[in-house]
Amino acid sequence: MQLTDADTVGHPVLDALDGADCSFCEEGVLVRDSYHGNAAVICDDCHTPGAQVW
């Protein structure tokens, strides 16, 4: 899914987690994306959300 401008601003928790190592797999890194329509950081390898806001 594509992020909109509303998804990319105003989420300090997501900003803090962006680029962090995934806690669910050994290879992944958390990146900004959406998850079930919510702004989130998800693992670029296993696609597990590290956090989401709604």
User: Could you report the per-residue pLDDT of 20-51, keeping only the tens digit for each?
Assistant: 999 999 999 999 999 999 999 999 999 999 99
Report the C-alpha gap between 11 and 25 in whole angstroms.
Answer: 24
DSSP string, 7-39: HHSS-HHHHHHTTPBPSSSSS-BEEEEEETTEE
43/37 Cα distance (integer angstroms): 16
Structure confidence at residue 6 (pLDDT): 52
The pTM for the full model equals: 0.79
Extents of the domains making up the chain: 5-53
